[in-house]
Amino acid sequence: MLLRQKIFSVALLLTLSLSSQAEEWLSKFDLQQYQGQVVYLDFWASWCGPCRKSFPWLNEMEDRYKKDGLIIVGVNLDSDIEAAKRFLKNVPADFRVFSDPDGELADQYKLIGMPSSFVIDRNGEVRHRHVGFKKSDIDSYETSIQELLKEAS
């Protein structure tokens, strides 16, 4: 009986800790912060269909490669941050997010479509980029992450 109670309370704690996982809004974004780590920069918006599809995969990547030094930053381009927050209620993100309502970063990275992703190596160089999110290409996205994680800074 006591054991059963223990198991129950552990299970309860686990569900609580899992459900309280939320995205972390960065107050500033600077690549320098993540020197020596692989950064996956993903530009998204609440009105963008493929972005919605990409989030579960991004969460998976965060979970799988966090320990190896992968940093996923989702740069949100909604002019209204509330729209972004509503989106995240339905489509949760377990990675860092940053609000860029004026598209300054988007301008800097010269996006040609949405979503756009950039994989940046441990020295801050952009090594891979892709536009859109295709389920058929997720293996190649993941390979690009693995390759850069293997490199020393």
Q: Which residues bind another protein (CB under 8 A)?
A: 43, 45-50, 77-80, 83, 103, 106-107, 111-116, 131-132
By beta-carbon proximity to another protein, the closer residue of 37 and 116 is: 116
Question: What is the bridge-based pairing of β-strands 38-44 and 116-120?
Answer: antiparallel
By beta-carbon proximity to another protein, the closer residue of 115 and 148 is: 115
For residue 60 the two structure tokens come to 């998976």
By beta-carbon proximity to another protein, the closer residue of 65 and 87 is: 87
Round to whole Å and give the CA distance between 126 and 36.
13
Q: How far is the CB of 68 from another protein (least distance, A)?
A: 29
Query: What is the DSSP secondary structure assignment for residue 114, as one 8-state letter?
Result: S
Round to whole Å and give the CA distance between 132 and 43.
10
Q: How far is the CB of 48 from another protein (least distance, A)?
A: 6
125: Cβ contacts below 8 Å, ≥ 6 apart: none
By beta-carbon proximity to another protein, the closer residue of 5 and 136 is: 136
Q: How far is the CB of 93 from another protein (least distance, A)?
A: 18
In the numeric block, the tokens 């994680």 are attached to 149
By beta-carbon proximity to another protein, the closer residue of 31 and 83 is: 83
Q: How far is the CB of 137 from another protein (least distance, A)?
A: 13
75 close to 98: Cβ distance less than 8 angstroms: yes
137 close to 144: Cβ distance less than 8 angstroms: no
Q: How far is the CB of 101 from another protein (least distance, A)?
A: 10
